[in-house]
Structures are given as structure tokens and as C-alpha cells.
Amino acid sequence: MDLTEYQGKQVFREFGIPVPEGKPASSPAKAQQIAEKLGGTVVVKAQVKVGGRGKAGGVKLAQTPAETAEVAKQIIGMDIKGHMVRQVLIERAGDIAAEYYASFMLDRGAKAYLGMCSAKGGMDIEQVAAEEPDYLAKVHIDPLVGIKQFHLNEMMSFGKIPREHQKAVGGLLEKLFRCFVGADAALVEVNPLVMTSAGDAIALDAKVSLDENALYRHPEFTKLVDNRDLPKQERAAKDLGLGNFVALDGYVGVIGNGAGLTMSTLDVVAEAGGKPANFLDIGGGANAEVMANAIGVILSDRKVKSLMVNIFGGITRGDEVAKGILAAIDKLGDVKVPIVVRLDGTNAEEGRAILQKANHPKIVPAATMLDAAAKAVELAKKRRAS
């Protein structure tokens, strides 16, 4: 779960990481109010969960409260790489003596935590890694041991942080690691980490991604959950408990059980010459209601010209799937989209019998996965042509 910058800074504050003073605003009037309280020059920053907002014009300085309102008006409502700006963060602008980079994440390959640090802050870290790898420290930390002073020393030394700033930066790095572990984050990143002329280290930006599976340990974070940024259909799926939905840009709807099989189903649809409209894994043990909801969500997309249901029952039972398909058709009324159904595994025969008995004109049985993909693509193309 990705957080916006101001949410990430809220989490940072809880772990004692210094961040600039500031507050979010969703209207120019509110932005002006915040600027008045802060006094002096402020920075107005678009709150979107996507990089490159500075270049897109989503970060601007304002000298006065009136100017703050004006700038906020420009930024709120802006579209940055497909993300609508709903909020801006108003922060007191401070002096910047140096800009660095710091992050912690899990390195899947090494099965360990990875700390990164660089004296080249304020720019894209992938660019630093590619062009100036000598300035990027990558230090692995054993999760059972946790962070030690030598890890911090290595991060700063290999990252070429000047000696006079190492005490302040090291202090921030250690707190950042405590935050990474303590908040069950998948990623904490500070870019830039700035040094003020007074010698303080401050997290000027905050990128935090939390592990959704660990939210039960942090009830205080549940208020950070914000699905408003998601596309409409993905939000509808989430609201129905269908967490494993991804919208794509094709016209063949896909429902499968299990992530691997569903991904494979998208691939066979593409191989058969079609374009999948979505990824939807209904998971293990889905009952008729889940199946009916899944069909409802997919058919709400007008681009969808056919739907392929590909189920290999393990825990999921074929009879429940069949009942769900019929329930969805009942509920939706006049279904125009052909639904190609391939069932195998647990109770598949019972499921096929239920569908055969219903004998609905829009339900098309298929014997194999490849057969189903071919039929779904053919039917979709026919309807696109007509």
C-alpha cells in the first residue's frame, strides 16, 4: 500500500524522523490558511502516488499566503501521469545546504533488508545507479540481527556522505530503519534527505509503502487506506472484496482462480489473437456469491465483448462456480456478453451439469483452456465487427 507524501511524513513523525513543518490542503482557501500560520515562504506540493511530479509542475514555491492560494488552485485538479491531484501539502520552505538519498527495502533475491544511501540526492536514484554507481551504497542487513553502527558507517562511507554530515545523517538513517521495521513497511525512501546550514538532517520528501498483510499490527494506519486514487472499476472490485483485480485495455474479460492460472489465461487469450480486458483472480474457495460479484464487475466495463471463465478447482468447487454464473446472469438481467466457461478439478462434472441444465444462450461451454480462449476471442471479435 503506497502512501502519499504527507501520509508518509505522518508515519515518519511517529518514529522521530525530522520533517518540515506543514499540513495538507484540498482547497486553495485551506492552503492559504496553512501558509498564514506557517509564515514566510512555503512549498506547495501535489500529493500523488507517482514520481516525476516536480517536472510535471506539481511542486512550486509561494512567497505569500495569497500566492499560496493561487498556486494551490493551479495544482489541485492537475493530472499527473493519469493521477488526479486532490490535495497539496503546504510546507515551510527551509534552507538547503546539501541533498542526499536514503532508503530501506527488502531485497527479495538476497532474502535480507537492503539499505541504500548516496551523496547524490534529489535526482532519480535509478539514474545514479546507472551513471554514478560509485556514489550509491548498497548494504545488506540480516533481518535477525537488525541494524548496527557499522551498517550505518558503510552506507555513509560508500555513499560518500561528507564526514562533517555523518553524525546527523547517521542519526536519521537509524530512525529510518526503525521506521521501516516498526511500521512493517515494504519501502521507506527519503529523496532528498537535506542538510540545513545549521547542520540538521531533515527528510524533505517521504516515500512509504506499507505491507498490507501487516496492517492488523497497526490499527492506526487503517485510516491511511485511500482507494480514491484507484480507477473506478478497480475500486468497485475492491469494495466487493475482489482484491486481485487489475484493469487492462483489451476486450476479452477474464476470470480465473489462482494468480498463476489467471496470468496464464491472459497469455492464452493473447496467444489466440485477443486482448484481455482485465486480470481477476477470485482466489481459492470462492463461492457462488464471489463468482457472481466478479462477473458483475467485469461486465460493468462496456469494452468487454466476451468473458472467459477459467476454473481449475482445488478448494474452489465447480458446482459453486456454476451457481455463481447463473446467479450473476439472473441479477444482471439482460446479459449480452457471451460467457465461455471452462471447468476442471473439484466438482467440475457437477458444475458442468448445472450449466447444461440451465441451457442459457449466453453460456458457452469449453472442454479445455485453449479451446475456451479460442472461443472467447472468436466471439469477442464477432461482436466487435457487428
Partner 1 sequence: MSVLLDKDTRVVVSGVTGSEGTFHTRRNIAYGTNVVAGVTPGKGGQRAVDDKVPVFDTVAEAVQKEGANASLIFVPARFAADSIVEAVDAGCSLVVCITEGIPTRDMAEVYPYVRAKGVALIGPNCPGLISPGKANMGIIPGEITGPGPIGLISRSGTLTYQVMYEMFSGGVGQSTCVGIGGDPIVGSNFIDMLARFQADPETDAIVLIGEIGGDEEEKAAAYISEHVTKPVTAYIAGFTAPEGKRMGHAGAIVSGSKGTAKAKKETFESFGIRVGTNPTETAELAVKSLG
Residues annotated as part of the active site: 101, 189
- Closest to partner 1 by CB, 38 vs 116, is 116
Instruction: Name residue, grid cell 541533498.
Output: 99
Residue among 138, 264, 289, 353 that touches partner 1 (CB under 8 A): 264
User: In the bound complex, what is the minimum distance in angstroms from residue 371's beta carbon to partner 1?
Assistant: 10
Told to check if 344 binds partner 1 by CB under 8 A, we report: yes
Nearest-angstrom CA–CA distance, 93 and 90:
9
40, 68 Cβ separation under 8 angstroms = no
Contact pattern for partner 1 over residues 193 through 212, marking x by CB under 8 A: ------------------x-
Told to check if 181 binds partner 1 by CB under 8 A, we report: yes
Nearest-angstrom CA–CA distance, 296 and 378:
22
Kindly state the number of chain residues that form the binding site for partner 1, as judged by CB under 8 A.
Answer: 50
Could you give the C-alpha distances from 248 to 215, 233, 291, 303, in angstroms and in order? 28, 11, 20, 10
Told to check if 39 binds partner 1 by CB under 8 A, we report: no
Q: Residue 189: left (phi > 0), alpha (psi -120 to 50), or beta? A: beta
- Closest to partner 1 by CB, 263 vs 353, is 263
User: In the bound complex, what is the minimum distance in angstroms from residue 214's beta carbon to partner 1?
Assistant: 4
- Closest to partner 1 by CB, 25 vs 269, is 269
Query: CA triplet 337, 341, 342: central angle to 5 degrees?
Result: 155
Could you give the C-alpha distances from 298 to 246, 256, 339, 375, 384, in angstroms and in order? 11, 12, 11, 18, 17
Stretch of 68-76, 270-278, 293-301, 327-335 lying at the interface with partner 1 (CB under 8 A): 270-278
Q: 47-85 burial by CB neighbour count: b if 16+ within 10 A, else e? A: bbbeeebeebebbbebeebebbbbbbbbbbebebeebeb
- Closest to partner 1 by CB, 20 vs 318, is 318
Sequence length of the chain is 386
Told to check if 109 binds partner 1 by CB under 8 A, we report: yes
Told to check if 345 binds partner 1 by CB under 8 A, we report: yes
Residue among 87, 118, 262, 293 that touches partner 1 (CB under 8 A): 262
DSSP string, 167-207: HHHHHHHHHHHHHHHHTTEEEEEEEEEEE-TTS-EEE-S-E
User: In the bound complex, what is the minimum distance in angstroms from residue 247's beta carbon to partner 1?
Assistant: 9
Told to check if 111 binds partner 1 by CB under 8 A, we report: yes
Residue among 77, 219, 260, 361 that touches partner 1 (CB under 8 A): 260
Q: 212-223 burial by CB neighbour count: b if 16+ within 10 A, else e? A: eeebeebeebee
User: In the bound complex, what is the minimum distance in angstroms from residue 275's beta carbon to partner 1?
Assistant: 8
Told to check if 314 binds partner 1 by CB under 8 A, we report: yes
- Closest to partner 1 by CB, 96 vs 181, is 181
Q: Which amino acid is at 215?
A: L
* SS3 category, 136: strand
Stretch of 23-31, 63-71, 267-275, 351-359 lying at the interface with partner 1 (CB under 8 A): 267-275
- Closest to partner 1 by CB, 63 vs 127, is 127
Residue among 144, 219, 302, 361 that touches partner 1 (CB under 8 A): 144
* SS3 category, 22: strand
Which residues sit at the interface with partner 1, rule CB under 8 A?
A: 106, 108-109, 111-113, 126, 142-144, 181, 184, 186, 211, 213-214, 216-217, 244, 246, 248, 256-264, 266-271, 276, 279, 281, 284, 312-315, 344-346, 368-370
